[in-house]
Chain A
Amino acid sequence: MSTGFYPGCSLTGSSREYSESLLAVARELGLAIPEVPDWNCCGATAAHNIDPELALTLPARILAHAEQAGMKEVLVPCAACYSRLQTTRHHLRADPDLLARISGRLQMEFHCEIDVINILQWLEREVIPLLAAKKLSSLGYQAACYYGCLLVRPPRILGFDRPEDPRIMDRIVAAIGLRPIEWAFKTECCGAGFSISRTDIVARLSGKILEDAQSRGAELVVVACPMCHTNLDMRRGAIERQAGKKYRLPVLYITQAVGLALGISPRKLGLNRHFVPVSLRAPAGEN
């Protein structure tokens, strides 16, 4: 199986620790994930909100380049990119005329036979089976698995886990020795792309997520999306000002959590880049 890696723009800038930790885990386990050659931005929310043509052509170019490079599937760690690539793939595969028209615009031969997978699917399929042979650091924390919107919705297109109460991340964090909590905000919206244009809304929505997680005993939040991370971590100041209280919860990418369990150093996992300090006590028996 040849799996390509589509980082997306956030992972080269404001969320680079997501990419660093993913690549560190892949390296540690000897998994090859070459980048999709000459990839471009997926167009994100901006394209599908105001320009439907770009919302198809930009993701299609990414898929076409991956297919041309002989990749059978693309791993897309950003939940927003994942949603855009999956939606485009869905429409192009359902409509041969549309596929022909879009391929024409790209001036590329493109059959859209390539698959798209998210980080949780990749971790469960490729990484978890390899952990049995590894000595894992026992993390032992109570973790709130926060999926957000775009990993699970809309299920008609993504066909992945339960849309209201997904379980896959809970299984992954349990496999690396964290204790997933039951909570109510697994798939509530964090405010996503309003981080800059409507910070007030992000502060309120993200605040509710932290409030529920903390009140149910979570010691950290685990995410699989750069927007969720940005809003819960980088916007923590705005959240706390609006809520009038402090939240102590650090927010980890799922790849950072897996990396810590594998004993990879916090710096290699980019934990030093967070706004909310990740000061995890030494694992039991390793003082």
Chain B
Amino acid sequence: MKFLSDLASLQAQVDCRRCYQCGKCSAGCPLAVDMDLTPSLVMRLLQRREAGLDLKILRSQTIWLCLNCETCLVRCPMEIDIPVMMDAFRQESLRRRTVHPRAKKILAFHRAFLDSIRYTGRLYEIGMIADYKLRSGSLMQDLVLAPLMFIRGKLRLFPERIRGRSTVRRLFKHREDE
């Protein structure tokens, strides 16, 4: 695939060229104010089909700030599935190693989350948070919250290990090189 719009159109099963810049996605997006590129601008850049503009998308904070709340998709008059495109752009950005430096913590969280379930089959919250802190360097974050969670019985001290964890390990096989 030559341009990002081909990947986007394939994933979303809707041609990016259908976007006519009504701007409803950007108007409704709860994260638009935090983004370096608004969703409708991403659509416009895609339509230009230029390698430099594609790279601008893959290097943006936007693709990591999208929470997949699906508001844009519900409101798009052309039913363009922007959230699915954002998933594809995140994966492509990882593949090309163009992740925005300020997305580091968000990515650290995703990786810590997946690592936590790889070995036990279920999320182990304490382990995941410890792993996240190491990966992101946010060692001091939420130190006050943890004991408050503990006294409310909201922190499980030991992981739950499922019987089928060898199957889960096998499903993770393609990630082992990471």
Contacts and interface: CB of A to CB of B under 8 A. Distances in A.
Q: Do A and B originate from a single complex?
A: yes
B71 interface: yes
A262 interface: no
B69 A153 contact: yes
B67 A192 contact: yes
Interface string A28-45: 000000000011110111
Contacts of A10: 123
B171 A49 contact: no
A41 B122 contact: yes
Number of chain B interface residues as a range: 35 or more
Given A197-B108, A197-B136, A149 B171 contact: no
Interface string B128-168: 01001000100001100100110011111000101110011
B105 A201 contact: no
Contact of B154 (A38, A39, A273): A273
B10 interface: no
A82 to B, nearest CB: 13
Contacts of A113: none
Interface in A253-287: 272-275
B122 A154 contact: no
Interface residues of A, number: 56
B70 A154 contact: yes
A43 to B, nearest CB: 7
A41 B91 CA distance: 21
Contacts of A44: 113, 123
Contacts of A47: 114
Given A48-B87, A153-B74, A192-B67, A198 B162 contact: no
A189 B69 contact: yes
A275 B117 CA distance: 27
Nearest to A56: B171
Contacts of B83: 154
B164 A149 contact: no
Given A163-B74, A272-B152, 8 more contacts: A49-B110, A50-B114, A51-B114, A154-B70, A189-B71, A191-B30, A197-B109, A205-B30
Interface of A: 9-10, 12-16, 38-41, 43-54, 57-58, 61, 65, 105-107, 149-150, 153-156, 163-164, 187-189, 191-194, 196-199, 201, 205, 234, 272-275
17 contacts: A9-B117, A9-B122, A38-B163, A41-B121, A45-B67, A50-B114, A54-B175, A58-B171, A61-B164, A153-B70, A155-B74, A156-B79, A196-B132, A199-B141, A199-B142, A201-B65, A205-B30
Interface of B: 30-31, 34, 65, 67-71, 73-74, 79, 81, 83, 87, 90-91, 94, 105-111, 113-114, 117, 121-123, 125, 129, 132, 136, 141-142, 145, 148-149, 152-156, 160, 162-164, 167-168, 170-172, 174-175
